Amino acid sequence: MIVDAFQYTCEGGREQNEDSLLCSAERGLFVVADGLGGHMDGEKASSAAVEYFRLNCRGGYTKEAVCGLLEGANQEVLQKGEGGKTTVAAGFLENGHFWYANAGDSRVYYFRGGKILAQTKDHSVCQASVDMGLLRPEDIRGSEDRSRLLKVLGSEEKLNLRRCAPPIRVQNGDAFLVCSDGFWEYVYEEEMEADLLKSDCAEVWMKHMLKRHILRGQNKGDNYTAICGILHLDGSETYDELPEEKTEKEEKKAGGRAHPGRRRALAVLCGVAVLAALAAVFLRLFLW
């Protein structure tokens, strides 16, 4: 697999850039951390989080392992972030699969055929409102509650993440975007898709999106950081099936048949119905 990746970070309208990032196509590791607070503590927190991923991501990913990495990064920020807090979004490529997770409102998007196939959900008041049907996803950007986050690294002893998404099996031409909220605030999802379709490499894709960002935001807002990548398979590559995929296939197969417990219940009900019918026949014969 060839991973064509490109990274960009900018202080925007702020004096200091508190974002940190890690883009390693060789290791299949892509991390963006957005330090909070508007001072040095935010930069220290995001840097501590990214350094933790750099030192501790060694493959062997599962949903539990990915969530464990975020928990470990949270502990690292608590210990070395000097009181700072940070969001984080991370993508991991291994064995032809893409894993992803986040804490806060930094995001991971995954694209197939030029369309968003999957994305992370923010840990925020706005996202909770979307989940309850009180707010449309596209209205998050303009909401006055957008900065009210429910989970960030360095805030609590444990993150207790409940959204560990299953991995995505990579196909040729798939793409991904890992970014801070300062980036997606000014680049809309349909624009990410449109710019990807007219790009032949990750750098060109990023430059198209950055033009939109600068025109819309005038470089006056928050720090903004993004990593984008386009994945190329040569057609001869084969990858082992993951346990999660095997379980999913088994569940789909079972979906066409009744659950064992349900089958037993149905058998009992059918037996009772047959006995009742026979009893009715004998009763009629006796009364006749």
In this prediction, residue 116 has a pLDDT band, given cuts at 50, 70 and 90, of very high
Residue 207 domain-assigned? yes
Tens digits of per-residue pLDDT, 239-284?
A: 666 655 555 555 455 554 444 444 444 443 444 343 444 344 333 4
Q: Answer yes or no: do 271 and 129 share one domain.
A: no
The answer on 60 and 151 residing in a single domain is: yes
Percent over 90 (pLDDT), the chain: 69
CB–CB of 89/107 below 8 Å? yes
pLDDT for 38: 61
- What pLDDT, in 10s, does the model give residues 49-81? 999 999 999 999 999 999 999 999 999 999 998
Buried/exposed 214-248: b ≥16 CB within 10 Å, e otherwise: eeebeeebbbbbbbbbbbeeeeeeeeeebeeeeee
> If you average pLDDT over residues 15-35, what whole number do you get?
96
Give residue-wise pLDDT tens across range 185-205.
Answer: 999 999 999 999 999 999 999
The pLDDT mean for the chain works out to 85
Q: Tell me how many domains the chain contains.
A: 2
Expressed as residue numbers, the domain containing 279 is 258-288
Same domain membership, residue 176 and residue 109? yes
* 251 domain residue, yes or no: no
- 112: pLDDT strictly greater than 50: yes
**Does some domain include residue 253?**
no
Let me know whether 148 and 265 are in one domain.
Answer: no
Same domain, 166 and 100: yes
Averaged pLDDT for residues 141-169:
90
The per-residue pLDDT for 263 is 44
212 or 238: which leads in pLDDT: 212
13 neighbors 219 (Cβ within 8 angstroms): yes
**Comparison of pLDDT for 242 and 216, the residue scoring more:** 216
Cβ-contact 12, 223 below 8 angstroms = yes
Task: State whether 215 and 271 are in the same domain.
Answer: no
Segment 102-127 mean pLDDT: 96
- For the entire predicted model, the pTM comes to 0.83
Find the CATH number of the domain harbouring 119.
Answer: 3.60.40.10
